[in-house]
């Protein structure tokens, strides 16, 4: 077995990263330890709780299930990439205002799942919201106000898009 | 946003990682501990009971639980040896290199085994605690009764499943003593424990709460153990030490909700009025007493339900078994007791052919009535109103009738069920007096007002509510207020963050302290009657110039006329009660025998609702946990060990499983609570289980008496009464 | 995290041939890892015994869905999300679509692969009952070549299968002959999402005037591996649906399965519920098929021009639209899709180009050709673009330009349910293809869009 750690190159929140790391190291641990992006959390290590959710090449993944070598050349988005400088993402703002976050530990993963959902389906029904978030466990809220937050963010997005000059509909 | 720092996000320079060698047998003597020579132990710090400088126990109510096992173990996963190493990887691997030889001893795993007393595993008779509550003459009532209804109800263990596992970081030095940072609810509980384990003076122990990812009672007493472990390793290694459990360890080794067996024997008259209630409560406390006595106390006091009954007897006992000690979990004995009494009310209704709604209504406590402990209801009791609202919002009767018509032609059987209950806010009886909480506010020279409490935030809204109270009482904006860091070096002991006491008891202290500060500034710093925020802060600076600091603290004052007899279990059990009615609509699928909650209504009176978003969130979250308790969450035991210690196999409801939950508040401000608040945190977990099982009985005609109620449990009775083989119609 | 990353070797040769050579040279040494949703759980629990792993992730030769006239071939590297998103699969193999949506969560579905699900060989595997019911074949590959066998013969014991030490599961072949079959799938889990099945039953039957002519039943979690219920099928085949047949079927299935007590459920529960699911399926076989929808009935009667315009909105190739009209009256939705496919297969490059030209570029809102209905639908399908970041839009514009320069036609992708980043990612992947392959791919995407629009049109 080689003792040289291979180079992994990928983009995280728009910035290029090059690290030398064991290929079987979990993407979750690479984000938290090698890149100091501790927003992504470990809740179970089994792909059940979703608190480690990130977006990889435009898809939602549980980063605890991804050996980092499979992220070679990928585009990763984590919760740290959502807010633009001091401006909160509409989802984050909605979560804060509508009680979508209580203890906050599931929130980063929940935000990534909600971002993914709205990226694929800008106007999801409540059933589609439930399905889109079914892989993210929240023990505090009972999910109800998380649904409300997503619906609110959806409305904000619509206004945003309309203000940007969309015509058809 | 990703910026909040939970304990596992924090690194201290030169930090090592700790791990725990745990017992893999449920009871026995430790014959030897061998360290495999293939490991270079010189790289590690190793701690056993012999290293403990102070007392080898975790200070709670009794002190029977050791910090580290010393010569014997009484449950699987009991901590025996601690290891620390710079590498998180290596320290985990080293656990397998510590070989422990045991001499197994006979074990006790169930309430029944413990009760039989063939094997004694605690004290002289396995009984961790017992209570006897008596009102009137229960034994006189049976002969006069028109109906006597009996029932036995069981509840299983339940895991908190906070998404953030337990974790601590500790540092030790001769000069500073012990400092710990961690995920916890009660800084001063941990403080007290560390003082005992290390034999240090109080000012040489410092406890700081980090951002805590959920707790629900699961981080009330356990953090004292983990903090002691991390601190012992820090002392031995001379390094900061981090110990964070993974999910497998947290599930297997930390406390859960007490399982219970509760028996009711009830006498009613021809009209359905309760004549006598004879209740027997047994809880499983696990291997050490920890909080079993207080959980039992609350179970005892909640067991007769929100009803008037002239004759009541409650005999309750907490039993020791060789399992991980059970602990605090949202509701703290009330969910168990209320499950039993509210299921039993429906059984009584069925036995006497009465509407379960009306049976409750005619027995409800009302203003001026006395409870089982002879407490007079001096505050308004509006159960009638809550019940009416719940029935109306849920369209209860119409739905019940419709389902009765539709069920026969459908494989899905639907039904409606209710539960009515109270939850005593704050500590029982003299508990608050004993806690003697101190809390207040101060103002910094940077122009910020701070709330000084050891009450912690773990998602339930402590920070928002207390700053809101302080702001209102000080006449400031909430943006002028911050919470002082939850650090025992900075904040006074306002008591533990438990028992739904924070808004009510601590909030009241904050309110009083704030008012006191304003009065003081008016008297001594020329603050006028009506003032702006700038004038307020200017007055503070004037005061500071004269007195050096601007701080106002208040100590707990019990509300008037609170008398509690701990021996006879009589008097004012709680200073205040929150009241609630829950309605559940369930669907039972006779193909798979599974039940789902389709919709849920929760109506409650909790004093003044200080923050509707937070209060609503507490109710929804509590109901969701209650639904899990009833239908999904099962702990599987194998020889005293949790066999399903993975999130894959311990099942909580997902976003696709929770029903719509409708929440309604009726407000009656409580004079002795923070701005009229009573507690709301635990109340919502009390009602779902009985409401759901009552609904299942309505839907199927079959009664079930035990939770968690899984499809496998419903199979036998449902298959017999709803055999779909017979319903083959093509 | 109890596993030690340093204790495992994980290489990613990046091509199918390289992986096959590796397996041939060192048989038994290398454990393939695709999406990792099984092996990484073991790794985190400190239970991963495989020391040498070879990554299959990102190997394009394994991740494909090829449509032929008589079969669909799914590459083993296809994720469950690929399956769910695929219009033809949801049309021809709805049970597979459904099962794909039940596996784990959205995050698991984007990584878990069909091959991984089968090779991992859990008795509870979600895709297995469906593949059994659909009479699927598996194709195995090694340096020595390929071989095919019925999926029903793939598993030989608990977590054991017929793969030789140098073989990989390459693809699953699904025969496209179930348009007239009655289909059933039900999974019984511990909750609605993220549940390992306690029992799952898939059924596919051809019923003619109340008699079962053909039936296949696939079941999970009631034996050492997912299996067909041959004895039960025998008790049903050739019989008329009725209480007697159902009773015989229940008796047969009880003997046909060997459920156990385990951490999730009991043998008794599994036995009884399997019988209940079977009864539910069989009872439903007697119900009439769905009726013709209103808009289809109207279309059958409409004048030529309106009818052609309705078709052009779904696919801008005039020849195709005309061929659809020629088949009126069309009896039902299923026939409509069937004929649409067969007619599409007869189209040539010039027809494809005509259809392509009616789509605005991904990221743009307008196009110079095609009807306004077509444009409206394009905009709906591409609605996720409204959430795209500035950089993504720019990259899409650049990518589109490069694509057109290289291949001579618009980048066509079935946008429904895809995020802007995904469409960009797919674009970048496809840029490295050759024109012939791209033409076929674009035509296939066009076909998927056509089916989506036909469905929408019927729903209106």
Position A159 scores a pLDDT of 63
Q: Where does a domain end: C131, C160, C175?
A: C175
Phi-psi region of B216 (alpha: psi -120 to 50; beta: other; left: phi over 0): left
**Does residue A161 surpass a pLDDT of 60?**
no
Closest CA in chain B for residue C44: B246
Mean per-residue pLDDT, B507-519? 95
Residues B540 and B159: their CA atoms lie apart, in Å, by: 48
CB of A18 less than 8 A from some CB of C: no
Q: Which residues in chain A are classed under CATH 1.10.150.120?
A: 90-163
Tell me how many degrees the CA angle C396-C401-C404 measures, rounded to the nearest 5: 120
8 Å CB contact of C41 and A65:
yes
Check whether residue C269 and residue C392 sit in a common domain. Answer: no
Position A3 scores a pLDDT of 57
Check whether residue C140 and residue C231 sit in a common domain. Answer: no
Q: Where does a domain end: C239, C257, C284?
A: C284
Check whether residue C243 and residue C341 sit in a common domain. Answer: no
8 Å CB contact of C276 and B246:
no
Tell me how many degrees the CA angle B200-B201-B207 measures, rounded to the nearest 5: 80
CB of A136 less than 8 A from some CB of C: yes
**Does residue B27 surpass a pLDDT of 60?**
yes
Distance of residue A75 Cα from the nearest chain C Cα, in angstroms: 9
Position A169 scores a pLDDT of 29
| Cβ–Cβ < 8 Å for C318, C374 | no
- Number of structural domains, chain C? 4
CB of C40 less than 8 A from some CB of B: no
Length of chain A counted residue by residue: 169
- Residue C290 per-residue DSSP state: P
Q: Which fold has domain B437-555?
A: Aldehyde Oxidoreductase; domain 4 (3.30.365)
Distance of residue A168 Cα from the nearest chain B Cα, in angstroms: 33
Token pair of B592, please?
């798979």
Token pair of B545, please?
């110039």
Check whether residue C48 and residue C94 sit in a common domain. Answer: no
Q: Which residues in chain A are classed under CATH 3.10.20.30?
A: 7-81
pLDDT tens figures, B678-696: 889 999 999 999 999 999 9
Chain C hits for B714, Cβ within 8 Å: none
Check whether residue C317 and residue C448 sit in a common domain. Answer: yes
Closest CA in chain B for residue A82: B1
Looking at residue C40, which CATH number applies to its domain?
3.30.43
Position A166 scores a pLDDT of 32
Mean per-residue pLDDT, B573-588? 96
8 Å CB contact of C44 and A26:
yes
**Does residue B409 surpass a pLDDT of 50?**
yes
DSSP B158-224: -----SSPPEEEEEEETTTEEEEEES-S-HHHHHHHHHHHHT--GGGEEEEEPB----TTTTTSHHH
pLDDT tens figures, B537-550: 999 999 999 999 99
SS3 of chain C: helix, strand, coil, percent, to 5: 45, 15, 35
8 Å CB contact of C243 and B248:
no
Looking at residue C215, which CATH number applies to its domain?
3.30.390.50
Q: Which residue has the tokens 């029904």?
A: A125
| Residue A167 pLDDT grade (very low, low, confident, very high; cuts 50, 70, 90) | very low
Q: Touching C: which chains, 3+ CB pairs < 8 A?
A: A, B
Residues C50 and C439: their CA atoms lie apart, in Å, by: 41
Q: Which residues in chain B are classed under CATH 3.30.365.10?
A: 7-106+161-253, 364-425+575-730, 437-555
8 Å CB contact of C3 and A48:
no
Q: Residue B481: how many CA atoms within 13 Å on its side-chain side?
A: 23
Q: What's the mean pLDDT when you consider all of chain B?
A: 95
Distance of residue B163 Cα from the nearest chain A Cα, in angstroms: 5
**Does residue B169 surpass a pLDDT of 50?**
yes
Report CA dihedral (C401, C405, C409, C412) to the nearest 10 degrees.
Answer: -40
The CATH number of domain A7-81 is 3.40.50.170 = no
Q: Residue C367: how many CA atoms within 13 Å on its side-chain side?
A: 23
User: Which among C9, C107, C387 is the nearest to A60, CB-wise?
Assistant: C107
Mean per-residue pLDDT, B422-434? 88
User: Which among C36, C192, C419 is the nearest to A67, CB-wise?
Assistant: C36
DSSP B408-419: GG-SEEEEEEEE
Under-70 pLDDT residues of chain C: 287-294, 460
pLDDT tens figures, A113-139: 999 999 999 999 999 999 999 999 999
Q: Which fold has domain B7-106+161-253?
A: Aldehyde Oxidoreductase; domain 4 (3.30.365)
Position A168 scores a pLDDT of 31
Residues C170 and C167: their CA atoms lie apart, in Å, by: 9
Check whether residue C104 and residue C80 sit in a common domain. Answer: yes
**Does residue B185 surpass a pLDDT of 80?**
yes
Phi-psi region of C211 (alpha: psi -120 to 50; beta: other; left: phi over 0): beta
Distance of residue A24 Cα from the nearest chain B Cα, in angstroms: 14
Length of chain C counted residue by residue: 460
For domain B364-425+575-730, give the CATH number: 3.30.365.10
8 Å CB contact of C386 and A59:
no
Q: Is the residue at C125 inside a domain? A: yes
> Lowest mean pLDDT: which of A46-60, A146-160, B125-139, B460-474?
A146-160
For domain A90-163, give the CATH number: 1.10.150.120
Residue C167's domain comprises: 65-175
Position C335 scores a pLDDT of 86
Name which of B250, B261, B179, B262 is nearest B219 in CA terms: B250
User: Which among B648, B649, B657 is the nearest to C192, CB-wise?
Assistant: B657
Respond yes or no on whether the N-terminal peptide bond of residue B708 is cis (omega within 30° of 0). yes
**pTM of the model as a whole:** 0.88
């Amino acid at each position: 077995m080689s003792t040289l750690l291979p180079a992994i190159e990928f983009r995280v929140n728009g910035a290029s990263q090059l690290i030398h790391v064991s290929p079987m190291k979990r993407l979750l641990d690479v984000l938290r330890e090698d890149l100091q992006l501790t927003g992504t959390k470990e809740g179970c290590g089994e792909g059940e709780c979703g608190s480690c959710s990130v977006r990889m090449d435009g898809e939602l993944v549980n980063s605890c299930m991804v050996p980092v070598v499979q992220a070679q050349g990928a585009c990763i988005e984590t919760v740290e990439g959502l807010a633009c400088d001091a401006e909160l993402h509409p989802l984050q703002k909605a979560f804060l205002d509508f009680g979508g976050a209580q203890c906050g530990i599931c929130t980063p993963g929940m935000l990534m799942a909600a971002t993914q959902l709205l990226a694929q389906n800008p106007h999801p029904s409540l059933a589609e919201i439930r399905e889109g978030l079914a892989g993210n466990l929240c023990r505090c809220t009972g999910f109800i106000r998380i649904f409300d937050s997503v619906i609110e963010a959806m409305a904000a997005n619509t206004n945003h898009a309309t203000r940007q000059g969309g015509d058809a509909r | 946003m990703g910026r909040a720092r939970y304990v596992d996000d924090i690194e201290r320079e030169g930090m090592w990682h700790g791990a725990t060698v745990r017992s893999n047998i449920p009871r026995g003597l430790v014959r030897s501990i061998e360290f495999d020579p293939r490991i270079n132990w010189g790289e590690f710090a190793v701690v056993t009971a012999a290293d403990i400088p102070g007392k080898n126990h975790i200070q709670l109510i009794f002190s029977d639980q050791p910090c580290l096992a010393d010569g014997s173990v009484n449950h699987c996963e009991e901590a025996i040896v601690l290891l620390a190493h710079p590498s998180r990887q290596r320290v985990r691997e080293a656990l397998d290199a510590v070989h422990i030889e045991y001499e197994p001893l006979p074990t006790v795993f169930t309430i029944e085994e413990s009760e039989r007393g063939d094997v004694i595993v605690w004290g002289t008779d396995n009984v961790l605690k017992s209570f006897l509550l008596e009102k009137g003459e229960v034994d006189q009532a049976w002969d006069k009764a028109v109906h006597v209804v009996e029932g036995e109800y069981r509840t299983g263990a339940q895991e908190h499943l906070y998404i953030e596992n337990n974790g601590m970081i500790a540092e030790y030095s001769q000069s500073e003593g012990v400092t710990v940072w961690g995920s916890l609810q009660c800084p001063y509980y941990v403080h007290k424990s560390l003082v005992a384990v290390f034999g240090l003076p109080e000012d040489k122990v410092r406890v700081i709460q980090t951002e805590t990812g959920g707790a629900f009672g699961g981080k009330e007493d356990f953090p004292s153990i983990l903090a002691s472990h991390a601190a012992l390793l820090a002392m031995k290694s001379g390094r900061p030490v981090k110990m964070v459990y993974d999910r497998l360890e947290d599930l297997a080794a930390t406390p859960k909700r007490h399982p219970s067996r509760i028996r009711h024997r009830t006498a009613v008259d021809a009209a359905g009025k309760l004549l006598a209630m004879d209740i027997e409560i047994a809880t499983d406390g696990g291997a050490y007493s920890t909080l079993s006595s207080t959980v039992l106390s609350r179970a005892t006091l909640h067991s007769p339900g929100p009803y008037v009954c002239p004759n009541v007897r409650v005999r309750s006992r907490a039993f020791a078994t060789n399992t991980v000690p059970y602990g605090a979990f949202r509701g703290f004995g009330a969910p168990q007791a209320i499950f039993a009494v509210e299921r039993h009310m429906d059984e009584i209704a069925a036995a006497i052919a009465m509407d379960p709604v009306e049976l409750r209504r005619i027995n409800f406590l009302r203003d001026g009535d006395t409870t089982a402990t002879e407490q007079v209801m001096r505050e308004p009791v509006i159960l009638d109103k809550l019940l009416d609202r719940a029935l109306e919002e849920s369209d209860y009767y119409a739905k019940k009738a419709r389902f009765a018509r539709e069920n026969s032609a459908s494989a899905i059987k639907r039904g409606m069920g209710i539960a009515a209950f109270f939850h005593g806010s704050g500590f029982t009886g003299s508990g608050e007096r004993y806690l003697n909480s101190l809390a207040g506010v101060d103002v910094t020279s940077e122009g910020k007002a701070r709330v000084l409490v050891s009450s912690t935030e773990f998602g339930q809204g402590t920070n928002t509510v207390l700053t809101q109270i302080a702001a209102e009482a000080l006449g400031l904006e909430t943006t002028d207020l911050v919470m002082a860091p939850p650090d025992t070096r900075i904040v006074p002991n306002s008591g533990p963050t438990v028992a739904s006491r924070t808004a009510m008891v601590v909030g009241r202290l904050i309110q009083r302290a704030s008012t006191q500060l304003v009065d003081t500034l008016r008297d001594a710093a020329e603050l006028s009657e009506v003032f702006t925020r700038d004038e307020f802060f200017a007055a503070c600076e004037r005061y500071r110039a004269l007195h050096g600091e601007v701080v106002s603290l208040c100590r707990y004052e019990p509300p008037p006329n609170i008398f509690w007899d701990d021996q006879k279990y009589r008097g004012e059990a709680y200073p205040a009660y929150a009241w609630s009615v829950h309605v559940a609509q369930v669907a039972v699928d006779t193909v798979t025998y599974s039940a789902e909650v389709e919709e849920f209504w929760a109506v409650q009176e909790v004093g003044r609702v200080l923050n509707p978003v937070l209060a609503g969130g507490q109710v929804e979250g509590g109901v969701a946990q209650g639904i899990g308790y009833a239908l999904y969450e099962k702990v599987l035991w194998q020889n005293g060990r949790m066999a399903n210690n993975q999130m894959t196999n311990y099942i909580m409801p997902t976003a696709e499983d929770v029903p719509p939950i409708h929440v309604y508040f009726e407000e009656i401000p409580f004079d002795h609570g923070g701005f009229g608040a009573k507690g709301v945190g635990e109340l919502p977990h009390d009602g779902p289980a009985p409401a759901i099982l009552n609904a299942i009985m309505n839907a199927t005609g079959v009664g079930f008496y035990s939770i968690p109620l899984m499809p496998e449990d419903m199979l036998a009775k449902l298959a017999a009464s709803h055999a779909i083989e017979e319903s083959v119609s093509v | 995290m109890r596993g030690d990353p340093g204790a495992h070797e994980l290489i990613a040769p990046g091509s199918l041939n390289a992986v096959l050579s590796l397996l041939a040279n060192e048989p038994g040494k290398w454990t393939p890892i695709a999406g990792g949703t099984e092996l990484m759980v073991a790794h985190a629990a400190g239970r991963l015994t495989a020391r040498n792993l070879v990554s299959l992730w990102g190997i394009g030769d394994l991740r494909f869905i090829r449509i032929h006239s008589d079969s669909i071939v799914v590459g083993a590297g296809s994720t469950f999300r690929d399956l769910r998103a695929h219009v033809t699969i949801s049309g021809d193999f709805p049970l597979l679509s459904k099962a794909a949506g039940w596996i784990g969560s959205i995050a698991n579905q984007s990584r878990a692969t069909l091959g991984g699900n089968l090779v991992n060989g859990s008795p509870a595997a979600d895709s297995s009952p469906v593949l059994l019911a659909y009479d699927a074949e598996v194709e195995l590959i090694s340096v020595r070549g390929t071989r095919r066998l019925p999926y029903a013969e793939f598993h030989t014991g608990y977590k054991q299968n017929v793969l030789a030490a140098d073989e990989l599961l390459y693809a699953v072949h699904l025969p496209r002959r179930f348009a007239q079959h009655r289909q059933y799938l039900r999974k019984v889990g511990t909750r609605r999402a993220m549940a390992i099945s306690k029992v799952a039953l898939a059924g596919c039957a051809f019923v003619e005037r109340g008699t079962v002519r053909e039936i296949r039943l696939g079941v999970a979690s009631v034996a050492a591996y997912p299996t067909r219920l041959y004895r039960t099928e025998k008790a049903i085949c050739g019989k008329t649906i009725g209480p007697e047949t159902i009773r015989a079927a229940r008796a047969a299935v009880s003997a046909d399965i060997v459920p156990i007590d385990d951490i999730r459920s009991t043998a008794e529960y599994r036995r009884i519920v399997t019988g209940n699911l079977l009864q539910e399926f069989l009872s439903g076989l007697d119900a009439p098929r769905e009726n013709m929808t209103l808009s289809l009935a109207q279309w059958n009667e409409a004048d030529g021009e309106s009818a052609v315009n309705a078709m052009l909105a779904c696919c801008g190739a005039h020849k195709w639209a005309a061929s659809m009209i020629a088949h009126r009256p069309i009896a039902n939705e299923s026939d409509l899709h069937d004929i649409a496919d067969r007619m599409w297969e007869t189209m040539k490059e010039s027809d494809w180009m005509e259809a392509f030209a009616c789509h605005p570029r991904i990221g743009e809102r307008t196009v110079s050709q095609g009807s306004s209905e077509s444009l409206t639908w394009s905009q709906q399908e591409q609605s996720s673009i409204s959430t795209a970041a500035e950089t993504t839009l720019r990259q899409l514009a650049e990518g589109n330009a490069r694509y057109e320069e290289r291949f001579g036609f618009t980048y066509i992708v079935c946008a429904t349910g895809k995020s802007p980043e995904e469409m960009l990612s797919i674009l970048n992947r496809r840029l490295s293809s050759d024109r012939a392959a791209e033409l076929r791919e674009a035509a296939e995407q066009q076909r998927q869009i056509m089916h989506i629009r036909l469905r929408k049109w019927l729903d209106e």
